Structures are given as C-alpha cells and as structure tokens.
Structure 1
Amino acid sequence: MRPESTNGTGGGGLAVPMAWLCAEYVADELLRAGGLVEPGSLEYQAGRRTLALTVYLGDGTGDATGPDAQDRLDEWLARTEYGHPWEEWVRERLAARRERDGDEDGGLALARETWQRLEGTHLLATDLGALSAGPAAAPAVDESEAVWLPSWRLGLPLGHLALRLH
C-alpha cells in the first residue's frame, strides 16, 4: 500500500526519508528495551529524540545489528556520555550536513525540526548539571532542587543509559 502523502517528488515515495526513519526506529527500540521510562512520557520523547539525532548525525548508518554494530554503539555511547559537548556537536553536524546537502535533504529538515523541539521544550527536572562533591565523597545530587531544562538535557543521560543497557 502506498502512503497518502509524498515528499514532493510526485513519485509516490515515502513521506519520511529512510535514514531518519531508521534513526527514529533504532532510538525507539533502544529506549523500549531499556525500560527506563514509560513510553509516551515527556521523558521518553526527549530520550527518543536525542538518540535519534545522535544516530542520524553520527557516522555510518543507523543499523545497530550489522557487522559494525559495536563500533556504532561505541560512537553513540561516546557522544552521549557525561561531559561530551553534545549540543555543540549537534550544531556542527547540522551545519555541515546543510552545507553539504543543502535544504533538499528531507532527513536533515526533520533533524533540524527535532533539534528545535529539543531546545524549545523545557522539562522540570533535578539539575544534574549542579553535581556537588566533597573532597573524598562521591558526587551528590539534591533531588529537591528542580530546574527547567531543555528536554535534550534530560534525554541525553536517558539515551546514554539505554545504550549502556543494550
């Protein structure tokens, strides 16, 4: 059965570019398998969007099962780990893709829209960026201190944990 809408080519193609569709599928499967948050929750959506951007903008395809699967998982883990400048990496990759492919790439348009949603949607959460640690103590988080954060700041550690559980 053909989709009702097309991507403007008039050829009856998919409305969503395959690379972006695969990235969203991989992100969704990783989060569902991790079972960290309820599917459909705002936290889940933040994690799925963050992981989808990471997969889409990363090197190679979104295939997490092929011969290079471990290399891809390692790359995604490195990109999502605490302390990695993920926000800057996303901005740089989006700009590089736009320069290389122009505005004709439908996957890039969806990635930019996803990034705008991640930046524009704020969630009330414990401020993980304000970790405090004594000289000989483990880092401590005051869970009663909640702040409004861009949703990617919550989705990033959630995505990283889902990758670790894979």
Structure 2
Amino acid sequence: MLHRGQESTDGTGGGELTVPMAWLYAEYIADELLRTGDLMPPTSFEFRAGRDALALTIFLSDTDGELSGIRVVTQLETWLSLTAYDQPWQDWVRERMAGLAAEADRSGGPAPDLELAEAAWRWLQETELLAPDLNAVPGGGALVGEDEGPKVWTPAWQLGLPLGHLAIHLF
C-alpha cells in the first residue's frame, strides 16, 4: 500500500518499497533556497539547521498532500509567515507532527516521510550550536567583531529558523 507522498521504486505501486518523496522534495526545496541565498557553507551545521527547519516548514505546510505538484513561488508567502520571528513555529511543528503521527497510526502503514521529518525535528531540538549572543552588548558597548563577541549555546532550530526565513526572502 502506498501512502501520501510515496511511490514504489518501480512505479507500479506494488508496495515493495516506499520512497519518502514528500520529505525528499521538501528537503530539496529547502536546500536549493539556502544555496541560492549563499548564507553559509553547505557543509556547516548552521546550513543543516536552516535546511532542516525549512524542510519541516515546507513538509508540514503541505496539508493537501500535493507537495510534489506545488510551485515554489506560490508557497513563499506561506513559508515566510510560518517562519517569521513572532510566530510560535516550534508549537506549530509539534502540533502538525502529532497530527501526522495520529494519521499514520490510523492507516497502519509505513510512514517513511514522517520518520525522516521526526528525525530532523529531533536533531533540531536536541542539538545546540554555539552562536553569537544577540541579546548581549559585546565588550560592554565597545565595537567588537562578530567572532569576538559573547556566544551562547542555542538550540539548532532557533538558529536554523531565521536562516531559512532569510533564505526565502533572498530567493
């Protein structure tokens, strides 16, 4: 049995192997947006945080199961509003993930898209990155370079979300 966003590898729908097409497509879009924005090296943890946060936003905002058929340009405003600074993004992610998990439990079938989204969400929550402390006054008010100012350990999603938001703006 095939599920939302999944196809068998041979295209026949035989159910031998399901491919998490919706998640892979969301991750691809997020990767391209971040690479286009050229905000950080693609090999950095910051890039991964931005890609995962943006991929979750893209994947979870696909409420109609049409992700592979969307046009990126038509979704940019939605993604911008979801990733905006004043939005409770992490609460929205938790609610959408819980809803998708309940849906997967009801269907009883495999949910590789959801499994990859859950892994990304776990990484974003559990991983902390050392980032500039934007709330501190560096050097007691003296001008200090970005690398010299105070730093704090920050959950990856808190760093990745604004990077994803900025990447959308730069697109």
**Of 112, 116, 124, the match for 1:110:** 116
CA distance 1:110–1:13, change in 2 (3 Å): closer
SS of 2:87's equivalent in the other structure is coil
SS of 2:42's equivalent in the other structure is coil
1:139 — aligned with what? none
In the TM superposition, residue 109 of structure 1 has moved relative to its aligned partner by 0.9
In the TM superposition, residue 72 of structure 1 has moved relative to its aligned partner by 1.3
Q: What pairs with 1:141-156 in structure 2 (closer than 5 Å)?
A: 144-156=149-161
Contact preservation (8 Å) 2:136, 2:150: no
Contact preservation (8 Å) 1:26, 1:63: no
SS of 1:124's equivalent in the other structure is strand
**Of 118, 123, 126, the match for 1:120:** 126
Gaps of 5+ in 1: 4-8, 133-141
In the TM superposition, residue 39 of structure 1 has moved relative to its aligned partner by 0.8
In the TM superposition, residue 125 of structure 1 has moved relative to its aligned partner by 0.5
**Of 66, 75, 80, the match for 1:77:** 80
Q: Does 1:100 align with 2:103?
A: yes
Task: Give the CA RMSD over aligned residues.
Answer: 2.5
Q: Deviations over 1:52-73 (max 9, x none)?
A: 101000135445962xx44411
Gaps of 5+ in 2: 1-7, 138-144
Output the amino acid matched with 2:80.
Answer: L
Contact preservation (8 Å) 2:84, 2:165: yes
- Which fold has the larger relative contact order, with Cα–Cα distance below 8 Å and residues 6 or more apart in sequence? 2
Output the amino acid matched with 1:46.
Answer: A
Contact preservation (8 Å) 2:53, 2:164: yes
User: In the aligned structure 1, how far is the partner of 2:133 from the partner of 2:152?
Assistant: 6
User: In the aligned structure 2, how far is the partner of 1:40 from the partner of 1:126?
Assistant: 19
Contact preservation (8 Å) 1:51, 1:159: yes
Contact preservation (8 Å) 1:26, 1:62: no
Contact preservation (8 Å) 1:36, 1:162: yes
TM-score in terms of structure 1 length:
0.78
**Of 151, 163, 170, the match for 1:165:** 170
Contact preservation (8 Å) 1:126, 1:147: yes
TM-score in terms of structure 2 length:
0.76
Contact preservation (8 Å) 1:53, 1:111: yes
In the TM superposition, residue 160 of structure 1 has moved relative to its aligned partner by 0.3
User: In the aligned structure 1, how far is the partner of 2:30 from the partner of 2:45?
Assistant: 15
